[in-house]
Amino acid sequence: EAAVTQSPRSKVAVTGGKVTLSCHQTNNHDYMYWYRQDTGHGLRLIHYSYVADSTEKGDIPDGYKASRPSQENFSLILELASLSQTAVYFCASTPGLGGEQYFGPGTRLTVL
């Protein structure tokens, strides 16, 4: 079974601070994604990556950067955290386009 891990699992950040969320997968999947989920709502795509050293903008990229330094690792960076970025963030990976996405356990981010 696909193994996707995220760190930290929860974080409290201050407005204007920098936050880095990390994702690691051990299944040699080429495709990785970052989503955010607001309470009681669906998942929205922030950034994704098809290959190491390359990232693509998703549907809601404003205020976020992404980094894919290796096939296994995919980070989401909030340079200047804002209150509106309080949410649960999920990383996912998939071996190919149009297939099952395997989600990590999520990171609960609270910005105060």
Which chain residues interact with other proteins by CB under 8 A?
Answer: 33, 35, 40-45, 48, 50, 58-59, 90, 97-101, 103-106
Rounded to a whole number of angstroms, the minimum distance from the CB of residue 28 to other proteins is 19
Nearer to other proteins, 33 or 75 (CB): 33
Instruction: Please name which of 92, 90, 61, 75 lies closest in space to residue 19, comparing C-alpha atoms.
Output: 75
State the Cα–Cα distance between residues 54 and 69, nearest whole angstrom.
8
Longest dimension (CA), the chain: 38
Rounded to a whole number of angstroms, the minimum distance from the CB of residue 42 to other proteins is 4
Nearer to other proteins, 79 or 100 (CB): 100
| Both tokens assigned to 38 | 């607001």
